[in-house]
């Protein structure tokens, strides 16, 4: 089960501009996770303007959208941003919460005992309300969040953090959350707040997975060209939880592989605008990326 | 053979402050490389103020300092810098070139046919003058340089780049040198300029090694605390060339290991001020770091 936003995005990067394309955390997470062998359902909200073709796109990927509320007379969440030349920094030009403003997640009866739950980046209150409706504790709950909630909704956020098994945030957010500059120390602090596993995303520099004293590092695949970084973190999260759900194995060793699958998914997404490249996904493309990760990181060293 | 600066540094970081400690690229490269089984000689210049204890320190590490010119009445190159809270950015507070200003490298007769040459970061003219004095082409020549030389001495720098086998620069410098944001494309451009191997250092995010279409990525070891990043790049370079010299094997596969040894050396250096931690080096410490690198990066994936 994925709880998260569905949106229309307007994006400008040094490579081009799009006015109104399908976006939102739940969209990217769902499209990414649905490439694995699993049953995926989204809990979200859209406005009356949300196009049928986009609902159908999700359905055609096997995603259950019975948890997507359509607010009549409402408008879908809209985000507009501009990426700078280095593609690592972006400016938000416009945020129109619209139907998201009063969103109360309603979890369909048949979603209420999910094995794996992904809380995409949105208000900690919504994330809490979603967890409260579950009939049983999931095998694994993963939380994605961002600096905005740390700045303005810290106590609610702390409550969510306490309830999840895995948190996925970027390096700056990990530092902000803990006041620790060292990511090793930041992860140790976050462990104490609740999550047994801490994923720290570093964009083009890859991602770390921390679990007590174990650390794993997945580089990002070096790409010829990054066209649009939007959705990279969500595609990563979708690949991460998708692989864990398919295998049903939440050991640290298997989470390492999930990190690689997530990174592969993110590397697809950023090569075209929006969700475009995710729709080109094929198992062969995945196999090629996994081989590239293997070549990128494998070395044989004799330790005396 | 190492050609590079020897210096006194004054360094301020969020963890403390030192007024005048031993520094310089050749110092760090030499101390790092001398941990391997090889003969190492430094070509550099210092002033009359350079302390005997520091010359002896190098000698005691088995480093041949007969190529270190001592200018009577001159003062040693002095650098002063301040690291900011994130430890990734620094401000140069003072640079006194002193004896470095008119330095003409004089390579001792018994250094003139070196197998491995490391050109530490200094003026491209000095680097060229050093190469011109050699009697035979080395097995491998490695160049380290920085943005200052790209800004002000580009044509001289281009001449050095053409003559070396490996270049070692950071990600911003690779972008500046080529005008390409993508590191994959930047490395491809640099290959065309001469070097068969391109090492791109990313500080706390590790390093890439590019060789035609092959890419290897070594993460940096996540550390509890980075006390002083000064000399990290030079310790890295010293470990890299040290391992290659010891093994005599300059294949891509062996360069991957050299990258790991270099990263391990850098991870020592930054844990204390200046060269202090390099003096604590032991083979056991190296073995522990190599194990940590292995654990950090190893995953077993089945690709269909």
Q: Which is it for the CA torsion A144, A146, A152, A154, positive or negative?
A: positive
The phi, psi pair for B238, rounded to 5°, reads: -65, -40
CA of A155 vs chain B CAs: smallest distance (Å): 26
- What DSSP string runs through A274-300? TTGGGGG--HHHHHHHHHHHHHHH---
The phi, psi pair for B146, rounded to 5°, reads: -150, 175
> Quick one: A226 exposed, middle or buried, by C-beta within 10 A (0-12, 13-18, 19+)?
buried
- Residue A162 is assigned to a structural domain of this protein: yes
Nearest CA in chain B to A171: B205
Strand partners, A18: A11
What is the per-residue pLDDT for A88? 72
Band of pLDDT at residue B48, cut at 50, 70 and 90: very high
Instruction: Of A86-90, B102-106, B124-128, B276-280, give the lowest mean pLDDT range.
Output: A86-90
- Cα B15 off chain centre by: 24
How many distinct structural domains can be found in chain A? 1
Looking up residue A202, the CATH number of its domain turns out to be 3.40.1190.20
Inter-chain residue contact B182 with A208, CB threshold 8 Å: no
Closest C-alpha among A254, A103, A66 to residue B299? A254
d(CA A87, CA A270): 11
| Contact between A108 and A133 (Cβ < 8 Å) | no
The answer to whether A21 contacts chain B (CB < 8 Å) is no
Query: Which pair of tokens denotes residue A125?
Result: 């209150």
What is the per-residue pLDDT for B69? 98
Inter-chain residue contact A181 with B87, CB threshold 8 Å: yes
- Residue B222 is assigned to a structural domain of this protein: yes
- Residue B135 is assigned to a structural domain of this protein: yes
Scored b (16 or more CB within 10 A) or e, A42-58 reads: bbbbbbeebeeebbebb
Cβ-based neighbours of B288, under 8 Å, separated by 6 or more: none
The answer to whether A84 contacts chain B (CB < 8 Å) is no
- Residue A304 is assigned to a structural domain of this protein: no
Size of interface A-B (CB pairs under 8 A): 101
What is the per-residue pLDDT for A226? 92
pLDDT of B89 over the 90 cut: no
End-to-end CA, chain B: 47
d(CA A3, CA B275): 51
- Cα A209 off chain centre by: 15
Partners of residue B202 in chain A, C-beta under 8 Å: 205
| E strand or H helix at A162 | helix A154-163
Inter-chain residue contact B287 with A294, CB threshold 8 Å: no
- Residue B186 is assigned to a structural domain of this protein: yes
- Residue A303 is assigned to a structural domain of this protein: no
> Quick one: B115 exposed, middle or buried, by C-beta within 10 A (0-12, 13-18, 19+)?
middle
| E strand or H helix at A136 | none
Q: Is the ipTM of this complex over 0.85?
A: yes
The DSSP bridge pattern shows strands B207-211 and B214-218 to be antiparallel
Closest C-alpha among B169, B158, B90, B99 to residue B124? B158
> Taking every pair of C-alpha atoms in chain A, what is the biggest distance, in angstroms?
70
pLDDT of B188 over the 90 cut: yes
| Contact between B142 and B29 (Cβ < 8 Å) | no
Closest Cβ–Cβ partner in A183, A208, A290 for B303: A290
What is the per-residue pLDDT for B291? 96
- Residue B302 is assigned to a structural domain of this protein: no
| Contact between A28 and A270 (Cβ < 8 Å) | no
Cβ-based neighbours of A179, under 8 Å, separated by 6 or more: A189
Q: Domain range for residue A253? A: 2-296
- Residue A302 is assigned to a structural domain of this protein: no
Nearest CA in chain B to A218: B297
The answer to whether A203 contacts chain B (CB < 8 Å) is no
- Please tell me the total number of residues recorded for chain B in this structure: 304
pLDDT of B214 over the 90 cut: yes
Inter-chain residue contact B287 with A293, CB threshold 8 Å: no
pLDDT of B87 over the 80 cut: no
pLDDT of B80 over the 90 cut: yes
pLDDT in 10s for each residue of chain A, 304 residues: 999 999 999 999 988 999 999 999 999 999 999 999 999 999 999 999 999 999 999 999 999 999 999 999 999 999 999 998 777 788 999 999 999 999 999 999 999 999 999 999 999 999 999 999 999 999 999 999 999 999 999 999 999 999 999 999 999 999 999 999 999 999 999 999 999 999 999 999 999 999 999 999 999 999 999 999 999 999 999 999 999 999 999 999 999 999 999 999 999 999 999 999 999 999 999 999 999 999 999 999 888 7
Inter-chain residue contact B260 with A226, CB threshold 8 Å: no
d(CA B48, CA B95): 18
Q: Where does B153-298 have alpha helices with state H?
A: 154-163, 171-178, 183-193, 232-247, 252-269, 283-297
Closest C-alpha among B83, B74, B82 to residue B45? B74
Band of pLDDT at residue B192, cut at 50, 70 and 90: very high
pLDDT of B271 over the 80 cut: yes
Closest Cβ–Cβ partner in A184, A205, A223 for B205: A205
CA B294, B295, B297: angle at the middle one, nearest 5?
70
Strand partners, B12: B17, B82
């Amino acid at each position: 089960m994925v709880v998260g936003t569905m949106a229309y995005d307007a994006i400008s990067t040094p490579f081009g501009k799009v006015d109104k394309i399908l976006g939102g955390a739940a969209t990217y997470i769902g499209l990414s996770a649905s490439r694995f062998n699993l049953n995926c359902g989204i809990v979200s909200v859209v406005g009356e303007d949300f196009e049928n073709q986009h609902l159908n796109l999700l359905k055609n990927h096997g995603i259950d959208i019975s948890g997507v509320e359509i607010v009549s007379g409402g408008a879908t969440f809209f985000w507009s941003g501009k990426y700078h030349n280095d593609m690592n920094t972006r400016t938000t030009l416009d945020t129109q919460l619209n139907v998201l403003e009063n969103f109360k997640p309603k979890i369909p009866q048949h979603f209420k005992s999910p094995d794996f739950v992904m809380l995409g980046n949105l208000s900690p209150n919504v994330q809490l309300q979603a967890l409260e409706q579950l009939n049983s504790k999931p095998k694994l709950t993963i939380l994605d969040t961002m600096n905005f909630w740390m700045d303005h909704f810290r106590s609610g956020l702390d409550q969510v953090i306490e309830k999840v098994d895995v948190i996925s945030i970027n390096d700056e957010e990990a530092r902000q959350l803990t006041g620790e500059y060292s990511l090793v120390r930041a992860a140790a602090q976050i462990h104490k707040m609740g999550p047994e596993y801490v994923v720290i995303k570093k964009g083009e520099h890859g991602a770390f997975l921390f679990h007590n004293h174990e650390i794993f590092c997945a580089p990002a695949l070096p790409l010829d060209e990054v066209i649009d970084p939007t959705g990279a973190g969500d595609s990563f999260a979708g690949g991460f939880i998708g692989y864990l759900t398919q295998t049903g194995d939440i050991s640290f060793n298997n989470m390492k592989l999930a990190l690689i699958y997530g990174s592969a998914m993110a590397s697809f997404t950023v090569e075209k605008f929006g969700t475009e490249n995710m729709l080109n996904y094929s198992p062969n493309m995945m196999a090629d990326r996994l081989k590239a990760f293997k070549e990128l990181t494998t070395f044989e060293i004799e330790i005396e």
